[in-house]
Each structure stands twice: as structure tokens, then as C-alpha cells.
Structure 1
Amino acid sequence: MKDAPLRLGVLDIGSNSAHLRIADLAPGLPPTGVRSVKTAVRLAEATDRHGVIHRPAVGRLIGAVRESVASAAALGVGELIPFATSALRDAANRDDVVGEVRAATGVRLGFLTGEQEARLTFLAARRWRGWSAGPLLLADIGGGSMELAVGAGERPDIALSLPLGAGRLTRHHLPPSPPVPKSTRRALSAHVRSVLKEATLGIAQLPPPATAVATSKTFAQLARLCGAPKAKAGPYRERHLDRGELRRWIPRLARLSDAERTALPGIKASRARQILAGAIVAEGVMDVLRLDRLAICPWALREGLFLHRLDALVEGRDPEDLPEHSPVVLRDVHLRAVP
């Protein structure tokens, strides 16, 4: 790898937003953040029960990709990795949407499998926590899916992706507005635990991890709600999510409107509606895996992609060679080729 750092952009198309992160990558150093640009796309709320994403959201997505490409070009990004997670990956009209985005912007969106998401996020958490963390368990709640991974190295021994995203469960299991009846909460909690118990049999047979960590906005906001330091305190402040405190918040969240939830510490308006489902999933994970608390890790999937790309450059590997080969791979987009 040349001495000059590579300026890399990662464009993450999620359930609610398109998030561009730009960082400089250099050997021996962590990714150095340059800029973060987030644009609302609201794919999840525009997806019907048949899994079809409707027109207004496709237009928002095209606009977000154009804005991201322009921002990346203005900041001298050499390569852009654009990818979509479960909201678009699982859509019934995925190929049509991807085709429209490419025709309008010149950018071909790639996809990660859920397992790849889990593995890359685990890599980020391992690098952040270091080897002193010992065997590591990772939990990440997204809009459409939840990822779990566990292992003693940089690559997990087990990596799972489950259909327990906060947005997905909110749409399918909760009423459109509060209050949420206790019977409904109990039914959702039972569903979450049923999925987790079946999926995590392999994890349950392993020795307890030395460190259990959580990433994602959902976990970070729940931790803040339960008393963790504010974001402005900086990334190096220790933050934890306590299961007992979280359990006490769930009935209150069920009573509050979206506006009232937004007034609570840490809860953003964009996630207010789905924060109850996120809390039920988080509490279910901690219950099934017998965890009293989770340490909040500020690095997640996007940082995992930065680190993987940096490792590939340093080691001279194919940058598309993701952990655990998959027929669905990310494509680098060279910005000079984009109209």
C-alpha cells in the first residue's frame, strides 16, 4: 500500500436513512473520520405487506445517492462502497429499485448478507475493545434484522442474522399508535424469545463470553435512556445498558406517544416509533443469553467495512474478498465514472 492514505466512502442504505461515512485509511492507524452525511429515505415505512417498496421512497433513495456521490466527490473520495441492508435487500422489487438507482446515478448498489453484516460488525467491535476483552459476544439491532456473533478471535465462531429488526417488528406486531396493550407486548416478547432460543442453541453451548457488547443506534439510545453518558461526552466514555433498568422502561415506553418518547433522553424522532420494539428485543437478547448488561461499542458495520478494506490493502488481497465468500459482493464505484 502507498504511504498516502486512501480516502474511502461507505454509503449504507438502511431502513430509515442513507448514511455516508468518509474516512482516511492508513496502515497502523484507525480509520480517521472526515465527514458523515445522513439523508432520510424511509424505505421501511414505504414497504407494503407484499414487500414492495413504493414510488416516493424510490425517489428519496435516488436523491440520497446523488447527494452522497456529490459529497464524496467534493471531498476527494477515491472509492465509494455503496451497499444496502435488509430493507432493500429483502424487498420484492429489489432488482427494479437497484436498476432505477443505477440508471439515475451511475451507482450500482451492492448487498451484504446478514451473516456478513454480523461478521464485519464483530470485526469492528473486536478492534475497538481489543484482545483484553477476551471471548466476545456482539449484538446489533437494525431496522429489518438483528445480528449476533460470538468468538475469541477477529472472526466470530458463530454469526447470525435474525428477522428481529426494530422497524420490522413494529410494523408487523405493534399497533400504529400507543398505548400498546400489555397483551400485545407479551405476545411480541414471546415471539422474540422463541426466535432467539431456537437460533442461539449453538451460542448457549459455548462458555460465557468475557465481554458482551452491543452496537447500533437502537442500543445506544436505549443505553442513554437508561442513564448512560450523552454522546457529546465522547466515544471513549464507558457506556452500558443494564437489563433491569431497561425492563423498567418498557411499560412506560408502551404508554407514551411518539412525541412524548422523543422528549426522553437519547430518543430521536426518527426512531421514536420503533424504540419500544427495540427495547423488547434488547431485553429478550439479554434474558435468553443470560446477560445482566451490555457494553456499548461506538464502532459498528461501517467501521467494519473500513477496517476490512484497510486490511485488504495492507495485505494485498482482493478488496471484494469479504469474510465468508458469498455470491453477493460489494462493488467499488470509482467516482470519476459517475455522471
Structure 2
Amino acid sequence: MRIGVLDVGSNSAHLMVVDISVGEPPRPVTAVKRPTRLAEAIDARGAVGGGAVCRLVGSVGEAACAATDQGVEELIAFATSAVRDAANQDEIVARVAAATGVRLGFLSGRDEARLTFLAARAWYGWSAGRLLLVDIGGGSLEIAHGDAQEPALALSLPLGAGRLTREQLPGDPPSRKHVRRLRRRVYEELSKAAAEVAPGLDGGLPVRPVATSKTFTQLARLTGAPKRKAGPYAPRVLELERLREQIPVLASRTAARRAKLRGVSRPRAAQILAGAIVAEALMTTLKISRVDICPWAIREGLVARRLQAMSDPAAADDETARLTQAVPAPRPAGRPALRAVPQLGG
């Protein structure tokens, strides 16, 4: 079966097309990615601006056309916190559906953490033992841990890099006062979360810390990890001490100058400082000196869940079922060419 997973995030709409069969690994077919830049378009009321909504509609429409062109049989479409938490969420979803035929669904933050954990388990396998999964998105931070396929604990905190940049780091570059204030807030929030997370990490058994998301991937590259062209199997790690060295560098630069640093993309340059602050505070609070960078994340987690349901219908769950839909019929309006992006995982 050929399925598509459409992930509408704070910075981009990313469609991943894969072939899945029982007893075989997912086989990537293609991926297309279009900018949304929703994080930078959220106003003081928490609503996404009209221009960004139009950009989102266009990006989802292109993804739907790509799914049709690739012969996708099922489409799993969801939006993360930038749309889920928007004051005009209903309007956005209605406009996307009317213009493209795609019904965007939502996952709770906890379900995002669970599915991302499932992806990490699928990537590393049972030999990895207990996993501690961390993921910094645009709107939220997910944490999960456990030694099974499902995590024993899954949390979502409002500590996404885009959200914190918008709310806590005015100026380009921000002032030292604002950077200190953000660090203080993040440490306070994570100290509370650590009280819930840390007990599950005790017991003497080893724990493998793993991180997903573009934020962690770019921070790892900034601190010396291999380039993407090295492929998904090249080991990538983020070390706490090297991360700490880079935070003052990021804090002293404008977004335009950060984009010239190794591994930092232009769309994420404005929010990479907030992401680095969250990553440093998280690793310090949970006493982690390094994390492995996992190339699989929530999209692969949804694929893994769909595979489970194919082999065992009892494994089907509401979270995936409500996001799954038929690929909409092509719309007559013309569309610009799609830009294929290389696969990091698979």
C-alpha cells in the first residue's frame, strides 16, 4: 500500500510518501516540502495572519496534488501546535478543506510524544533498551521514556522554539536581559517536568537519550555532526558542553548572521537561539551529557502505527484513524512545481 503523511508544522508543510507492506520496512518513495512560516505570522491574539493562511492553503494544495500524482491510496494529514493552538484554528481548517479537499486533523501534544517515541523505537530497535526521547518543535517540547514500544511516560510542554522566540525574545539580536529571562523561565518549567520524568529514569538500568526534530539536528550540525549528505546512518550526536559554547555565539548574532553558521537554515535562524536554550536546559536538568540524533520522528511514527494496524487490526487506534482520509480529487487550478527533498530516514 502507498500512503502519504502530510505534516503541517510551524515552518513547512512536509509530505512523505512511502510504500508499506506487512513484514517489510517502509520504503520511501518521495517527499515534498513547502514553506508555511506560520510561527512568524501569529499575532498578539494568537491568530495566524491572512497571508500565512493563504500560503498554508497553497502548500497543502501542492501536497495534495503530489499525493495524487504519486498514486497515494491513503493520506494521513495533521497540523501541529501552530495551527492546533491558533485562535483562528477553525477558520484555517475550513479554508484548507474548502480550497484543497484536505481535512487537517490534530494530535494532542501527548500523542505527538507517543508517536515520536514509537518512531525512535522503530529506528533503534529493542537492543537500545530504555529510551529517553526529546523533541523540540515550533510550538512545544515533547518528552517520553520507556523500555517498550509505547512510552511509560509522555509529556508535552509549551516550550517550542518558535513560540518562545515570539513571546520572549524581541529584538534581532535580543538583549541580554531577554535572553536571561528566557533561560530562567525555561529552567523553571523544566525543573517541574524533571520531577515527573526523573523517577522513571532511576533503577540502575541504562537509558539511551535520543533527540528528534530539525532544531536538534541543526544544533548537532552546528556543533560538528556530519552533514545531511552523509546519509541517515551516519552517527550524529549533540554534546552538552559543545552546545553551551554556541549559545553566546547565537545570542550575539542577528538571524541573518546565524543563517551563515554551519547547519543553521535561514527559515530557522530566528528561532535557533531559543531552541538551543531549551536543549541546554533540558539536558542539564535531566543530567544528560549527550543525545543521539534520531532521523525518524512523528511522520515515521504514524507510518509505524499504520503498519501495526495492517498486521494486527487490534493495534489500530483512534489517533491515526481520525487523521486518515482518501486523497482528494485534483483541483483544476494550476499549481507551481514541487521541490523534492532528500530523505533523511528510511
Provide TM-score, normalisation by structure 2.
0.92
Q: Counterpart amino acid of 1:25?
A: I
1:164 corresponds, among 159, 172, 180, to 159
Q: Of the candidates 113, 135, 139, which is equivalent to residue 134 of structure 2?
A: 139
Change over 3 Å in CA distance of 1:318–1:153 after alignment to 2 = closer
How far 1:227 sits from its partner (Å)? 0.6
Supply the distance in 2 between the matched residues of 1:241 and 1:332 (Cα, whole angstroms).
35
CA distance in 2, matches of 1:191, 1:133: 33
Write out per-residue CA displacement over residues 22-70 of structure 1, whole angstroms, 9 at most, x where no aligned residue: 1111122221111111111111111112111121111111111110011
Cα offset for 1:336?
5.2
Match of 2:184 among 185, 190, 203: 190
1:83 and 1:330 in contact (8 A); partners too? no
Structure 2 counterparts to residues 97-176 of structure 1, below 5 A? 97-176=92-171
Query: Shift of residue 211 of structure 1?
Result: 0.2
Separation in 2, partners of 1:269, 1:152: 37
What is the 5 A alignment of 1:24-63?
24-63=19-58
- Identify the range of structure 1 (197-206 vs 104-113) with the bigger mean alpha-carbon deviation: 197-206
Equivalent position of 2:312 in the other structure? 315
- The TM-score, its normalising length taken from structure 1, stands at 0.93
Separation (CA, whole Å) in 2 of partners of 1:70 and 1:322: 25
How much identity, in percent, do the aligned residues show? 54
Q: 1:90 aligns with which of 85, 89, 95?
A: 85
Unaligned runs of 5+ in 1: 1-5, 324-328
Which residue of the other structure, out of 224, 227, 242, is the alignment partner of 1:227?
224
Cα distance in 1 between the residues matched to 2:328 and 2:265? 36
Q: Deviations over 1:162-204 (max 9, x none)?
A: 00000000011112311x3333222111111111111231211
Task: Give the structure 1 partner of residue 266 of structure 2.
Answer: 269
| 1:19 paired residue number | 14
- CA deviations over 1:59-115 (Å, ceiling 9, x no partner): 111111110011010011001111000000001110111111111111111100000
Given that 1:20 and 1:38 are in contact with CA atoms closer than 8 Å, whether structure 2 keeps it comes out as yes
- Is 1:333 the counterpart of 2:322? The answer is no
Which amino acid is 1:314 matched to?
A: S
Number of equivalences = 328
2:236 maps to 1:239? yes
Residues in 2 aligned to 1:120 and 1:306: alpha-carbon distance in whole angstroms: 9
SS at match of 2:238: strand
**Alignment pair present for 1:301 and 2:301:** no
- Look up the match of 1:202: 196
Is contact 2:75–2:327 with CA below 8 Å preserved after alignment? yes
Cα RMSD, aligned residues only = 1.5
- Give the distance between the partners of 1:330 and 1:270, measured in 2 at CA: 31
Separation in structure 2 between the aligned mates of residue 274 and residue 336 of structure 1, nearest angstrom:
34
Once residues 54 and 336 of structure 1 are traced to their aligned partners in structure 2, the CA distance between those partners, rounded to angstroms, is: 26
CA shift, 1:132, in A, is 1.4
Aligned to 1:200, the other structure's residue is in SS state helix
Contact 1:320 1:331 in 2 (8 A): no
Give secondary structure in 2 for the equivalent of 1:322.
Answer: helix
CA distance in structure 2 between the aligned counterparts of 1:140 and 1:330, rounded to whole angstroms: 23
Q: Which runs of 4+ in 1 moved over 6 A?
A: none
